[in-house]
Amino acid sequence: MKIYKLTCQYCGKDFERYWKKKGKPIFCSSTCAGKHNHKKQGVEINCAECGSVFYRAQSMLHQAKYCSKQCYSKARPSKIELTCVCCGINVTRAPSLVNGRVFCGRKCKAIVTNEERTQDLTGKIYGRLTVESYFPTKKLGAYWNCRCECGVLRPVKAQSLTNGNTRSCGCLSADLASLLGSRLGLRNSKMGNQIRWYVNFKDKEYRLRSGFEWIYFKYLVSRNTPFEYESEVFRLANGCRYTPDFYLPETNEYVEIKGYLTDRAAHKMDLFRMVTGHKLTVLYEKDIIKLLPQGMTISKFYKHHKKSPLPA
């Protein structure tokens, strides 16, 4: 069998191999091949520990700090010095073992736990939770019945209340998820927003959901009308949440843009008016056409204004 003498195209090392690929880069190992691909497709970064240059893909820049595991282990301390929350004695712990409060031993932990059981939290407010009464249980630690702003009553551990880990019955995370989904969910949609209605206005990027919203956005900017786009998530009945499209502070009203109206959307808007008492105006296609200049159709407006910049 013929042996080929080759040279690695990344590190320049000479090596021998029984085969070679014609017309393709030659590397002495998979490590050199990976480094070559990172250098070809990635961004140049300096290691925070040794200062050497390495390359990472654009999607990995948020966590690219060290060039290797060795540099990562050197930069990360093996143990950190902390203070016991009970007696104040300094103790050392590995970073992986630090989770919440730190105690020097079981006695200090038992002392704090007993104090939490005897400490009266009735009437205190933690986030959206208001403590109503003590909840007897055989579990370790004290539990208290807490009433959430949405009306749900549930037992919560005293430690979770005092250190801020629990601030609601679960509705807060649902609200944040709804707000995040309303702003970023279009990136994961299979069919929606294929045209990608982006608008950069006053150093901020707006990701709109339809061409009708884009036309109304342009209309408000041309009239110098102050507005907010999807600024607030409203919690309605039975876990229902609703996010209006636009809010106009001058008239204190919300505007919803609809190409067509479904039964679910109509029910949400009626529930929003009934629960909050706010004024909600719904604009349909015929209303959007009235906002266009005279003699201008929607398709012509798209072509004429699609690439025109907005005033800063």
pLDDT band for position 192 (50/70/90)? very low
Average pLDDT estimate for 15-41: 72
Mean per-residue pLDDT over the chain, rounded = 78
pLDDT of residue 191: 42
Q: What is the model's pTM?
A: 0.45
Give Cα 67 to chain centroid, integer Å.
27
**Domain range annotation of the chain:** 4-63, 190-305
Mean per-residue pLDDT for 56-74? Answer: 76
Q: Which residue has the higher pLDDT, 298 or 96?
A: 298
Q: Residue 118: left (phi > 0), alpha (psi -120 to 50), or beta?
A: alpha
User: In which band, very low, low, confident or very high, does the pLDDT at 129 lie, cut at 50, 70 and 90?
Assistant: very high
What residues are paired with 54 via a beta bridge?
Answer: 45
Band of pLDDT at residue 189, cut at 50, 70 and 90: very low
pLDDT value at 197 more than 90: no
156 vs 304, more confident: 156
- pLDDT band at residue 190 using 50, 70 and 90 as cut-offs: very low
Q: Provide the pLDDT for residue 193.
A: 45
3-state secondary structure of 27: coil
Q: How long, in residues, is the chain?
A: 312
**Residue 309 pLDDT > 50:** no
Tell me what percent of the residues of the chain surpass a pLDDT of 90. 10
Residue 255 has pLDDT above 90, yes or no: yes
Would strands 279-283 and 253-257 be described as parallel, antiparallel, or unpaired?
Answer: parallel
Side chain identity at residue 20, one-letter code:
K
Main-chain phi, psi angles of 110, to 5 degrees: -65, -35
> What is the per-residue pLDDT across 212-247, written as a single tens digit (0 to 9) for each?
888 888 889 888 899 998 888 887 776 677 888 899
Flag whether pLDDT at 132 surpasses 90: yes
The winner for highest mean pLDDT among 41-50, 176-185, 298-307 is 41-50
pLDDT digit string, tens, across residues 134-188: 887 777 778 889 998 878 899 998 888 888 888 888 877 777 766 665 555 445 4
More confident residue, 250 or 113: 250
Query: What is the domain class of 190-305 according to CATH?
Result: alpha beta
Contact 71, 50 (CB under 8 A): yes
Q: Which residue has the higher pLDDT, 219 or 299?
A: 219
**Predicted pLDDT at 158:** 87
Task: Give the whole-angstrom CA distance, residue 237 versus residue 272.
Answer: 9
Residues of the chain by 3-state class (helix, strand, coil), percent to 5: 35, 20, 45
pLDDT at 308 (0 to 100): 45
